Structure 1
Amino acid sequence: MPKYTKEEKAQQARGKALQTADEVVERAQGDRMRKARNYHADSMHGFSDERVLEILKSPDAVYHSTAGSGRLIFRHGEDIVVAEGRGAGAGNVITAYGPSGIRGDSGASARRPPHRPRWADHPHGRGGGQDSGQGRLYGSWSADSMRRHSP
């Protein structure tokens, strides 16, 4: 018999992801962020550290990938920041992309219309205007009280 059920493991992962997301936002509020070794928001996508920090300070929503990596996606408007979600590097920023960057809507050459980010079409509803809420950790932040709000 397994030690934990699938549901219990998912709940534990969600709790850890929430804690990591809170830590990332709190760190950004102090104008700090940790970069992953493979950080490339600036070199490949034209995002300044200041823009990345803006997104992390006040995300419209934060998503948790339920795939193997468990990454965290911080969305502000149509720009996103991707961070490690678990392990020793949890909370380390990997990349950022969106219409504010030099490559447009996606990390690859922008092939979709400017109003439709590549990640908006994800089959599990992890972004864009058609968000089903699945994978969403929380909606938005109140800048003064740092409480979670539903969208």
Structure 2
Amino acid sequence: WTPVQNHILCSACFDRYKRRGTLERCRLNPPLAESEKRCTYEGCGRPTQSSKYYKIDKGRSTWGRDWSSLEGSVLCHSCFDRFKRRGTLERCPKEKEAAVPSRCEYEGCAKPGESSRFHLIDGERTSGGHDWTPIAGKVLCHACFDRYKRRGTLER
């Protein structure tokens, strides 16, 4: 502690010195040169439009993933985060939703054909803490869906 004796340290600097024995900051991801700021993943939709870029160094073991296949690569924040969370750079294929009929099936609906969105109710739903099985398989307009979600009933 003699190098910092008689100095006033903020809590971050104190903790850093206590853990590492130095006030020097650790630079795990130092800033890249402007010429390096491009995502090298060929499937990236916006390789030059990221707020942060990460150079994948040899031996990286962040989040328990095997990064060896990406050594030397530069990833944008989105691609880095995707690999960190899922262990792959591939995007999830968006499944096409089956066409939901655009008419509310609740008999008491005031505007059954006029809604910004229609919801096909499945029996597994638990939104709002209500039992949705009585209306499973029905199509509701957004207003009726929201009413059931809030109140647990379609009645006005």
The answer to whether TM tops 0.5 is no
* TM-score, normalised with respect to structure 2: 0.23
Q: Which has the larger radius of gyration?
A: 2
* TM-score, normalised with respect to structure 1: 0.23
Q: Which has the higher helix share?
A: 2
Q: Higher RCO, 1 or 2 (CA under 8 Å, sep at least 6)?
A: 1
